[in-house]
Amino acid sequence: MDMETIVKQTLLITGGAGFIGSNLCEHFLSKGYDVVCLDNFATGHMHNLDKCLHNENFKLIEGDIRNFDDCVKAVRGVNYVLHQAALGSVPRSLEDPITTNDVNVSGFLNMLTAARDEKVKRFVYAASSSTYGDSEGLPKVEDVIGKPLSPYAITKYVNELYAEIFSKTYGLETIGLRYFNVFGRKQDTNSAYAAVIPKFVQQLMRLESPLINGDGTYSRDFTYIDNVIQMNELAISTVNASAVNTVYNTACGDRNTLNELMQYLKAYLSKYDSKINDVEILYGVNRKGDIPHSLASIDKAKTLLGYDPKFSLEEGLKEAVDWYWNNLKEKK
């Protein structure tokens, strides 16, 4: 796609005020796209959009994907949808499965239907590695999944089933991106369901002892935000017919234990405050719904989309730690 073509393209990013969504908004505005953001600010933040709000190519719609009229309004005149809006978190879904289902399933179906009716070119959506459930094989390969281990995982699997049906029945092009433990700038540290990396970073910055669930030997495929942005860009730009109407692991293709993660965080944060090196790490019980190990095969994304992740865990953590140190208002 040349620049002249790109300038004429309009993207809708649902959940655009969230962690991943706001990074996508900034990126695609910088590439010359017109960007529409739909968010109800249940978990997103207006400050995440500070760099977007005064851009003439940016439009903010405050609305809820559970409201079909809001979805219809948001997709009007849109070429591509990047659907990021969801209620994340396994623990939250265990505490409140009904709301998780309303947002992640009913809201998703609303968006698919609105996109179909508007004849949107392609619908790219945030899927989840939680779909692999109790499947024990490593690395995780897209066409081999197990049974879900949480209400959240069920909702994300149902998303994939609905997307497949809309592709087959209505001809709507869909691509699902199964995110693996995404981290990076603007990830919320203050949520009750904060992801492990921003939570640990804030605790270490305050010289508080982080609590690792389990003995720290559980491992994850931690994936830096810029790798995720690359996958979204490839998903909307591919002209390979065999690359659409399917799902892709969106990951680094490597795994690290929580103990290794903590060592990296201590090392990178200690350059700002040497006392962080001496913070004691606490260990607790394993969390319900957690799988012991997660590692993605990214061969499919490499082959069909040309995916080439630029950031390893260490490289991404260095950037994320610098961002957090310079941007967190409360450091102690």
Both structure tokens of 64:
């809820």
Residue 247 clears pLDDT 70, i.e. is over it: yes
DSSP per-residue string spanning 199-231: HHHHHHHTTPPPEEESSS--EE--EEHHHHHHH
Is 152 designated active site?
yes
DSSP for residue 243: G
Cβ atoms 250, 234 nearer than 8 A = no
The residue annotated as part of the active site, out of 33, 80, 132, 152, is 152
> Which CATH class, in words, describes the domain spanning 3-185+224-254+293-312?
alpha beta
Cβ atoms 210, 204 nearer than 8 A = yes
Write down the pLDDT at residue 194: 80
Cβ atoms 13, 28 nearer than 8 A = yes
* Phi and psi angles of residue 248, each rounded to the nearest 5 degrees, phi first: -135, 140
Q: Which long-range contacts (CB under 8 A, 24 or more apart) does 61-66 make?
A: 61/36, 61/37, 63/38, 63/39, 64/40, 64/107, 65/14, 65/38, 65/40, 65/103, 65/107, 65/108, 65/110, 65/111, 66/102, 66/103, 66/106, 66/107, 66/110
Of the pLDDT bands very low, low, confident and very high (cuts 50, 70, 90), residue 330 is low
pLDDT digits (tens, 9 = 90+) for 149-197: 999 999 999 999 999 999 999 999 999 999 999 999 999 988 877 899 9
DSSP for residue 140: B
Q: How far is CA 98 from CA 46, 150, 151, 224, in A?
A: 26, 12, 9, 30
DSSP for residue 103: I
Q: At what angle do helices 225-237 and 313-327 cross, to 10 degrees?
A: 110
pLDDT digits (tens, 9 = 90+) for 271-319: 999 999 999 999 999 887 778 899 999 999 999 999 999 999 999 999 9
* Statement: the pTM of the whole predicted model exceeds 0.85: yes
